[in-house]
Amino acid sequence: MEIRNYINGAFTPPQSKLWIDNYNPSNGVIYGKIPNSNQSDVEAAYQAAAQSFKTWSKTSAEKRSKILLKISDLIEKHSSLFAEAESKDNGKPITLAKTVDIPRAASNFRFFGNAITQFYSESHSNTSAQVINYTLRQPIGVVGCISPWNLPLYLFTWKIAPAIAAGNCVVAKPSEVTPVTAYLLGDICNKAGLPPGVLNIVHGLGSTTGQAIVTHPNIKAISFTGGTATGASIAKTAAPMFKKLSLELGGKNPNIIFADCDYQTMINTTVKSSFANQGQICLCGSRIFVERSIYNKFKTDFIAKVKALKIGLPSDKTSNIGAVVSKTHLIKIQDYIIIAKAEKHTILLGGNKVNVKNNEDGYYFEPTIIEVNSNDCRINQEEIFGPVVSIMPFDTDEEALNMANDVKYGLSATVWTNNLKRSMYFSEHLQAGIIWINTWMTRDLRTPFGGVKASGVGREGGFEALRFFTEQKNICIKY
Ligand code: NDP
């Protein structure tokens, strides 16, 4: 499969003439090639976007909305095609792609297609001074959207949909590891009547294509989701150019379990919050803290439930765990098992690569549970972003809260308790942008989404995303 850039509504080979191999994680075989676009490719995408901006920014919100809703319908219509492509490209189980990734990509377009018709700005009247102030929210111009490989189309559309809904034109880059569904989206946009140049997709490495987007002098805003180190490097480049930045970065989220919780719901959800998508979700609860009185019971039950998960081909409907995304990522996960052993933790379950029959070169890894001897260790402080969780007991609320907060990240946190006072206390004091009480990853697209500390800057979701993708201008009239 040869993937091409999508510029000005057409599929074009890269001017760089450079290509990158695309691997199938389920068997380690190269099954396609994608452009490694350079500055000229990004410039062509920018020019198309800048040209389109002249009309798209003046197109009514109703018309923009209609096109976004049409894109959403078409993703739904072709959901099997998208789900199969996503599962093959990323290694995630087909069931997950079908029930989460692709429906959510369609929802992103539907949500922002509707939201833009309800978006509003402020007006402040002062009748005694005979003055009225009102605020315009104008699209920024050409914006850059850069997304990661873990939830490829889901996170790509999470940025693109609000950007174009708000009247901007976009130069976007999906992760080079998972480019296929973004490529398929181009055709859907054409079919839905999105004018050429409103969305431009350039493929390639972060260090070349991504960097060319970030350094482009006229791409005025960057919405980025990815690792914390990459986010820091983007911020360093973009800040002196006075670009607007939204950074959704890494996490090392605590999952705090009290004895007074609804045990069955907690344990079933904890299996998901630990290992869904092979643990490659920024919101996964990778540090599990359990109240000591139920620690041994939890340990036994959790191990039994995780043991029952089926590791297998992503295309097999019965697989619970597919392949991790790439060989590099598999090696990173294996390195953390070596670190865990060196730190003298106990590996309660897993810790090894899995050979799936006839696919021995695939990137499969056992769901792994590590009993750590302290929160102050690399296993608990560094983001592994794979099917690896740590567990440890705690004795008091204060101890649990301190360990939960004692990490450089602050994306999300989950607390399991039926004690209202305790849940309110933890909600107030946990250092994270998103808190779940007695649930995990229950999303409402109207809510603000983002992290604190090294997990990011800014919020996306709902009107927050539309605010990010618009510039405010205040007008004061004396009458
Ligand atoms: P990376 O930071 O490696 O990459 C993210 C994207 O940025 C990719 O498209 C990448 O391209 C690109 N990129 C890399 N270097 C640069 C650069 N210098 N300039 C511009 N773009 C660049 O993250 P991963 O793809 O490995 O994704 C995993 C990370 O994403 C984890 O840390 C995870 O926690 C985080 N994440 C955060 C979420 C959140 O909402 N907070 C949600 C999901 C994931 P390429 O792939 O070609 O290198």
Q: What is the DSSP string of 456-473?
A: EES-BSHHHHHHHTEEEE
Angle at 220 between CA 210 and CA 193, to 5 degrees: 80
SS3 449: strand
CB 271 within 8 A of CB 302: yes
Residue 50, ligand 1, Cβ within 6 A: no
413 dihedral zone (left: phi>0; alpha: psi -120 to 50; beta): beta
Q: Which atom of ligand 1 is nearest to the CA of 411?
A: 41
Mean pLDDT of 22-40: 98
Mean pLDDT of 113-141: 97
| Token reading at 125 | 């009247």
- Compute, in degrees rounded to 10, the torsion defined by CA atoms 344, 348, 349, 350: 10
Average pLDDT, the chain: 98
Instruction: Kindly give the interhelix angle for 61-77 and 79-90, rounded to the nearest 10 degrees.
Output: 70
Residue reference for tokens 């440890």: 392
Distance from C-alpha of 166 to C-alpha of 116, rounded to nearest angstrom: 7
| Token reading at 308 | 């029952």
Angle at 175 between CA 205 and CA 65, to 5 degrees: 125
How confident is the model at residue 279, as a pLDDT?
98
How confident is the model at residue 404, as a pLDDT?
98
- pTM value? 0.97
Measured in whole angstroms, the distance separating CA 307 from the mean position of its chain's CA atoms is 27
pLDDT in tens, 125-134: 999 999 999 9
pLDDT in tens, 152-180: 999 999 999 999 999 999 999 999 999 99
Distance from C-alpha of 322 to C-alpha of 365, rounded to nearest angstrom: 9
- Sheet containing 254-257: order of strands: 346-349, 368-371, 388-394, 287-291, 254-257, 412-416, 434-437
Q: Which atom of ligand 1 is nearest to the CA of 149?
A: 25
How confident is the model at residue 450, as a pLDDT?
98
Closest CA to 330 of 13, 25, 50, 16: 25
pLDDT in tens, 339-385: 999 999 999 999 999 999 999 999 999 999 999 999 999 999 999 99
Q: How far is CA 133 from CA 125, 307, 467, 468, in A?
A: 6, 62, 18, 21
Residue reference for tokens 């929802």: 107
Mean pLDDT of 440-445: 97
Which amino acid, residue 35? Answer: P
Instruction: Kindly give the interhelix angle for 79-90 and 152-165, rounded to the nearest 10 degrees.
Output: 120
Q: How far is the CA of 377 from the centre of ligand 1 (A)?
A: 24
CB 324 within 8 A of CB 25: yes
Q: How far is CA 203 from CA 24, 176, 189, 214, 230, in A?
A: 17, 6, 17, 14, 17
CB 254 within 8 A of CB 274: no
Distance from C-alpha of 409 to C-alpha of 406, rounded to nearest angstrom: 9
Q: Which residues pair with 23 in a beta bridge?
A: 30
How confident is the model at residue 103, as a pLDDT?
98
Residue reference for tokens 């992103």: 108
Residue 238, ligand 1, Cβ within 6 A: no
SS3 306: helix
Q: How far is the CA of 328 from the centre of ligand 1 (A)?
A: 14
**Helices of type H across 388-432:** 397-405, 420-429
Q: How far is the CA of 248 from the centre of ligand 1 (A)?
A: 9
Measured in whole angstroms, the distance separating CA 451 from the mean position of its chain's CA atoms is 12
Cα-Cα end-to-end distance for the chain: 64
Q: How far is the CA of 226 from the centre of ligand 1 (A)?
A: 3
Catalytic sites, residue numbers: 248, 282
Q: Whose CA is nearest to atom 15 of ligand 1?
A: 206
Q: How far is CA 425 from CA 62, 105, 209, in A?
A: 43, 35, 45
Closest CA to 367 of 345, 352, 348, 387: 387
Using most ligand atoms within 8 A of CB, pick from 145, 146, 382 the residue to mutate for ligand 1. Answer: 146
pLDDT in tens, 246-293: 999 999 999 999 999 999 999 999 999 999 999 999 999 999 999 999
Contacts of 26 (CB under 8 A, 6+ apart): 88, 91, 313, 314, 315, 322, 323, 356, 359, 362
- Assign 36 a pLDDT band (cuts: 50, 70, 90): very high
| Token reading at 388 | 């690896």
Distance from C-alpha of 169 to C-alpha of 49, rounded to nearest angstrom: 5
Q: Whose CA is nearest to atom 22 of ligand 1?
A: 206
How confident is the model at residue 194, as a pLDDT?
98
How confident is the model at residue 183, as a pLDDT?
98
Contacts of 227 (CB under 8 A, 6+ apart): 148, 249, 250, 383
Residue 148, ligand 1, Cβ within 6 A: yes
Distance from C-alpha of 130 to C-alpha of 125, rounded to nearest angstrom: 8
- What does the DSSP assignment read for 62-115? HHHHHHHHHHHHHHHHTHHHHHHHHHHHH---HHHIIIIIHHHHHHHHHHHHHH
- Assign 398 a pLDDT band (cuts: 50, 70, 90): very high
Distance from C-alpha of 38 to C-alpha of 106, rounded to nearest angstrom: 30
Which amino acid, residue 258? Answer: F
Residue 227, ligand 1, Cβ within 6 A: yes
pLDDT in tens, 66-90: 999 999 999 999 999 999 999 999 9
Angle at 176 between CA 170 and CA 177, to 5 degrees: 135
